[in-house]
Structure 1
Amino acid sequence: MELPIDHFRLLGVSPTTDSETVLRTLQQRLDRAPDQGFTVDTLQARAELLQASAELLSDEERRHSYERELTAIADTSEGSIAALEIPPSREVGGLLLLMEAGQAQEAFEAASRGLQPPQAPALGSSREADLTLVAGLACQAASADFRNQRRYEAAARTLQQGLQLLQRMGQLADRRRQLEHELKLLLPYRVLDLISRDLSSLTARQEGIRLLEQLVLRRGGLEGELDPDFPQDEFQPFFKQIRQFLTVQEQVDLFSRWADAGSATADFLASFALTAAGFVQRKPERIQAGFQRLQASGQAGMEVFLACQQLLLGQVEQAQTLFDAGADEALRQWAQEQSDDPLARLCAYCRDWLSREVLPGFRDIDAEADLEAWFADRDVQAYVEQQDRIRARLHPSPTAEAAPTASDAAGELPAWPELNFESLSTSLDTEASATDDTSDDDDDLWDGPNWRLPELHWPELHWPDLSALPRWALPAAGGAVALVALGGWLLLRPRSQPVQPLPVQPVEQAKPAEPAPAPTPNFPLTAAEPSETQLQELLEAWLAAKAAVLAGQTAPLPLTDLARSSQVQLLQRQEQTLRNAGATELVKAKVESFTVNERGPNRIAAQVQLQYSDERRSSTGAVLNQTPSTQLTNTYVFARDGKRWLLAAYKPS
């Protein structure tokens, strides 16, 4: 066989090395024979090849003749390279030296061919064992070379080929486990490699998105901690960077799927992606979808974000109510510095919110938060006027439904599950635009703290701190907001009575499997200062109603007598998802302890210990999955709406 290497590189010396140094290098190479488990025959063949190269290079006349041959080969226009012809008896030793010379990919390919028919060695022979070992070592080394070149997909493919070869040979179980582990660690790098490519590389980007979903699933979701090799403090900056290379529609699709699977963070991100898409595309219906998703998620502390979405939908009165309810003292003080007009304050915050938190972070969006252009758009005006007409038909008189109060909008709820999504700008000046494995990415893309793979680095980006949600962001400069289109169109157009949210449409319930118990006369709870027992009964009634709905039965009590609309809507979405899948869920939740730890005139929080289990079944009764009985500790928040106390939110401790 021919080795694609010359005598100088085989021995590891330069063309200017003198004879004495050649012999000294030979002795060093012989003294440092590999100890990975090769047979004596292979090590002897390696030594003989090294000695042959040293003898040629230390003989002045033979060396000059050889150098003339190398020069003639280099001068040819056919792209020929030097090669060494070696006998079959020294083949494995030659491949071992080729790998030691830094040509691991060539060694791996040659070893793979040597293990294929018709030149495959006899089963169980020492040559088969040594060739397999060379293939495993060369595969690992070649993958490391590709990683150092930032060609992560090529590195992964090499590992996959090596694994398939070793599995077929049925040898080197420990080496296979090492390759599997390195392939697993490469997954986030492959995602970044593929997703950062040009938008025209559709196949590569689709594969990157598929791998991203695989990575998130392996972790147990965005908030999961199931992958010890990729902990949350490393996953968060990685995911923050990944977002920069996803289009707005890709984010809408991804986050919506993850939100439907139960991720609160994905619900938040999907709402922002829908808002960004709607604002840039001038499609208010997408902002409406984002508003409904964020509202239905039941997350507390979202009032000012919901206010901005309502403002963009032209629902000024509701937006101001939500903003006043959700703004803390610092935000109110900042807003007062912007203008004396309440609507101008809201517009100033909305524009800053769009600029800092919504519009950045999408590969295909480069737009300014121009509210004047938004409200001047004919499609936006037509949508808002159409929605006004629909609401006017549903609520023909101002007495049809009371206007929402600040207590109803905010409920003075705590600010968890506090998501802090700061400005999504990064230090990247350019995007990677590689279209194949050999392209070079922008160097800035890879700067940052070290991760687990050698010679690889994560970018230094700021991931949203899941424990601290600032509900506002101070703009760089103050000043009143200009309201040309908004003032001329929104403020001067004829206003109907205060527009209310569409009523929650209860999901059609399936026929109950068994008669529901008679309603308990204790609800709605109207006591001014309810006792712990009364609050516990309210929680137990809600848990029983929720279990009935998820089981496909009719709730024993009206849901709106037990919980706020955000919790009711969330339950209805869960029930609809089950119904679409043709499944039901049997939930058992028993309150074991109930302790009020915060109490105010309009808000009460309690720490509750539950014994919980669930079981999801198909329409045929087959068990799809289940959660064994376990003890949970949750914090439940009850809010007072008028004279009624309702369950407003909960948080796992």
Structure 2
Amino acid sequence: MRIPLDYYRILGLPIQATAEQLRQAHRDRALQLPRREYSDAAIASRKKLLDEAYAVLSNPEQRKTYDSGFLAKTYELVPGAEASPAEPLPLEAPRDAGADPHTPNIEIQDDQFIGALLILQDLGEYELVLKLGRPYLTNGSASVKGGQFGEPNIVFSDIVLTVALACLELGREQWQQGQYENASEALETGQQLLLREGLFAGVRGEIQNDLYKLRPYRVLELLALPEQHTEERYRGMQLLQEMLQERDGIDGTGDDQSGLNIDDFLRFIQQLRGYLTAAEQQVLFEQEAQRPSAVATYLAVYALLARGFAERQPVLVRRAKLLLMRLSNRQDVHLEQAVCALFLGQTEEASHALELSQEFGPIAFIREHSQGSPDLLPGLCLYAERWLQDEVFPHFRDLSRQQASLRDYFARSPGAVLPGRVTQRTWCRQ
């Protein structure tokens, strides 16, 4: 069997390596044992290849002969030869697995195959490990059971472990590169293999822990996709719902095993809001508000107000107003209640809510822009427009560029009537 390895790569050295570097590399690699889950046979197979590489390269005459063939393989190309297109993964286990006529490779004995896989794993050649190992787990497994690779059950378990670990490391590599869905696919492939074979529960748990920690990144990646990617965005919402269920809500104390504490998770929710539409946030946060959740209730108010104003639907504003009543016993929401009352044309109620508010900064702004008026409605109108424009709309992917105009809202909203004095006074100040 030919394997796409060379003695220098086995020891992790360049062709210019000195004799001392060869000794040190051989010693270091021999001391760096594989994971404890591997069989003694796999460890011995790996050591046999390390010893073989060192024996050849440490002998000046053998190294000279090897180098001449090595360089020929590396630099001599067949005239007119062109790279062939990638072929699909073979179902049968090939005898010259992965070998290319112009890539340095070595001939190994069958019982060294698992050792070669371990060395490729050490080198970070995870995709090559998958290409070489996976055929032996399907139709090619008959070759393993024949016994020429060693004791069939042990060899098969070692190959399963190596392929699963390659999936794990490939997933982590893709995770670091920001390819979160690809990383999830690689991790789940390794996990499913271990589940199917009923092997290595510890490694399976390690993969599952990574999948849990990867989940917030997947949610953000999927929900950030354009809205026409309905299937992918739906999957992102499902993952988010799973996390919320395991945490007992946005501000819950449950453990979704993502590693995010409550503050981290609130920042995560704040970040993903910009990827959701007002309608999506309304459905999500109204549902979460039923747990009950103060944070979800407040976010549902934002979504209802944003959508109600943008779509000229006072019925949604009324729902926001009802949700605010749940919060009024625990926090000062009088300013938001005043805005709701204003959008519903309930000016006396809006003025009363402003009198109760302890939000001194906004109230000072409202008073300043209501000078000369018998009430605070002109300032409230200006505040409401700026609040929507600067603090509410930017958190919705479909409203981030929406303009907030009370004049348009009252002109087009069925059931909402703009009081006469607001019409006359407010916009002459803008």
TM-score by length of 2: 0.79
d(CA) in 2 for partners of 1:37, 1:114: 19
Aligned twin of 1:66: 70
Say whether 1:210 aligns with 2:256. Answer: no
Say whether 1:103 aligns with 2:125. Answer: yes
d(CA) in 2 for partners of 1:295, 1:272: 14
Query: Residues 452-482 of structure 1: CA distance to partner in whole angstroms, max 9, x if unpaired?
Result: xxxxxxxxxxxxxxxxxxxxxxxxxxxxxxx
d(CA) in 2 for partners of 1:19, 1:283: 81
Which one of the candidate residues 72, 77, 84 is aligned to 1:78?
A: 84
Please show how residues 343-382 of structure 1 align to structure 2 within 5 Å: 343-367=377-401, 370-375=404-409, 378-380=411-413, 382=414
Determine if contact 2:381/2:406 at 8 Å carries over to the other structure. Answer: no
Shift of 1:214: 0.4
Aligned twin of 1:127: 155
| Secondary structure, counterpart of 2:254 in structure 1 | coil
d(CA) in 2 for partners of 1:313, 1:35: 67
Determine if contact 1:372/1:486 at 8 Å carries over to the other structure. Answer: no
Aligned twin of 1:88: 110
d(CA) in 1 for partners of 2:2, 2:356: 79
Please show how residues 475-624 of structure 1 align to structure 2 within 5 Å: 487-488=423-424
Which one of the candidate residues 158, 177, 185 is aligned to 1:149?
A: 177
Over 3 Å counting, the alpha-carbon distance change for 1:294 and 1:15 in structure 2 is farther
Say whether 1:384 aligns with 2:412. Answer: no
Aligned twin of 1:34: 34
Shift of 1:133: 2.9
| Secondary structure, counterpart of 2:196 in structure 1 | helix
d(CA) in 2 for partners of 1:2, 1:83: 10
Determine if contact 1:303/1:322 at 8 Å carries over to the other structure. Answer: yes
Which one of the candidate residues 249, 253, 258 is aligned to 2:279?
A: 249
Please show how residues 435-474 of structure 1 align to structure 2 within 5 Å: none
Matched letter for residue 216 of structure 1: L
Where in structure 2 are there 5+ consecutive unaligned residues? 87-99, 146-150
Over 3 Å counting, the alpha-carbon distance change for 1:328 and 1:198 in structure 2 is closer
d(CA) in 1 for partners of 2:354, 2:272: 32
Shift of 1:282: 3.6
Shift of 1:307: 1.1
Whichever structure has more strand as a proportion of its residues is: 1
Query: Residues 122-169 of structure 1: CA distance to partner in whole angstroms, max 9, x if unpaired?
Result: 497321232233234333322221221122222222222222222222
d(CA) in 2 for partners of 1:204, 1:196: 10
Aligned twin of 2:138: 116
Please show how residues 401-416 of structure 1 align to structure 2 within 5 Å: none
Shift of 1:284: 3.6
Over 3 Å counting, the alpha-carbon distance change for 1:172 and 1:46 in structure 2 is same
Determine if contact 2:227/2:233 at 8 Å carries over to the other structure. Answer: yes
Determine if contact 2:114/2:158 at 8 Å carries over to the other structure. Answer: yes
Aligned twin of 1:302: 333
Aligned twin of 2:357: 326
d(CA) in 1 for partners of 2:423, 2:138: 77
Query: Residues 389-425 of structure 1: CA distance to partner in whole angstroms, max 9, x if unpaired?
Result: xxxxxxxxxxxxxxxxxxxxxxxxxxxxxxxxxxxxx
d(CA) in 2 for partners of 1:213, 1:73: 56
Shift of 1:187: 1.7
Query: Residues 345-381 of structure 1: CA distance to partner in whole angstroms, max 9, x if unpaired?
Result: 2123212321343212112222355335534x6422x
Aligned twin of 2:47: 47
Matched letter for residue 195 of structure 1: L
d(CA) in 1 for partners of 2:75, 2:84: 14
Percent of aligned pairs with the same residue?
26
d(CA) in 1 for partners of 2:2, 2:204: 29
Q: Select between 366-375 and 250-259 the one with higher mean Cα deviation.
A: 366-375
d(CA) in 2 for partners of 1:17, 1:486: 85
d(CA) in 2 for partners of 1:192, 1:115: 35
d(CA) in 1 for partners of 2:359, 2:167: 59
d(CA) in 2 for partners of 1:91, 1:372: 74
Over 3 Å counting, the alpha-carbon distance change for 1:260 and 1:37 in structure 2 is closer
Where in structure 1 are there 5+ consecutive unaligned residues? 389-482, 493-653
Over 3 Å counting, the alpha-carbon distance change for 1:323 and 1:35 in structure 2 is closer
Shift of 1:96: 0.4
Say whether 1:176 aligns with 2:204. Answer: yes
Query: Residues 233-262 of structure 1: CA distance to partner in whole angstroms, max 9, x if unpaired?
Result: 221212211112222221112112222343
Shift of 1:267: 2.1
Query: Residues 322-355 of structure 1: CA distance to partner in whole angstroms, max 9, x if unpaired?
Result: 2223345555444322331222121232123213
Shift of 1:18: 4.8
Matched letter for residue 164 of structure 1: Q
d(CA) in 2 for partners of 1:61, 1:218: 63
Aligned twin of 1:396: none
| Secondary structure, counterpart of 2:271 in structure 1 | helix
d(CA) in 2 for partners of 1:154, 1:116: 23
Determine if contact 1:371/1:486 at 8 Å carries over to the other structure. Answer: no
Determine if contact 1:152/1:190 at 8 Å carries over to the other structure. Answer: yes
Please show how residues 222-301 of structure 1 align to structure 2 within 5 Å: 222-227=250-255, 229-295=259-325, 300=330, 301=332
d(CA) in 2 for partners of 1:282, 1:72: 73
TM-score by length of 1: 0.54
Shift of 1:225: 0.6
Whichever structure has more helix as a proportion of its residues is: 2
Shift of 1:299: 5.1
Matched letter for residue 114 of structure 2: V
Shift of 1:102: 0.6
d(CA) in 2 for partners of 1:271, 1:181: 35
d(CA) in 2 for partners of 1:67, 1:268: 69
Shift of 1:99: 0.4
Matched letter for residue 184 of structure 2: A
Matched letter for residue 48 of structure 2: E
Determine if contact 1:2/1:83 at 8 Å carries over to the other structure. Answer: no
Count residues with an aligned counterpart.
Answer: 394
Determine if contact 1:272/1:358 at 8 Å carries over to the other structure. Answer: yes
Determine if contact 2:378/2:425 at 8 Å carries over to the other structure. Answer: no
Determine if contact 2:342/2:350 at 8 Å carries over to the other structure. Answer: yes
d(CA) in 2 for partners of 1:188, 1:329: 37
Say whether 1:21 aligns with 2:49. Answer: no
Shift of 1:92: 0.7
Over 3 Å counting, the alpha-carbon distance change for 1:256 and 1:110 in structure 2 is farther
Shift of 1:61: 4.1
Over 3 Å counting, the alpha-carbon distance change for 1:329 and 1:129 in structure 2 is closer
Determine if contact 2:327/2:333 at 8 Å carries over to the other structure. Answer: no
Matched letter for residue 415 of structure 2: Y
Over 3 Å counting, the alpha-carbon distance change for 1:127 and 1:294 in structure 2 is same
Matched letter for residue 309 of structure 2: F
Over 3 Å counting, the alpha-carbon distance change for 1:175 and 1:53 in structure 2 is same
Determine if contact 1:280/1:367 at 8 Å carries over to the other structure. Answer: no
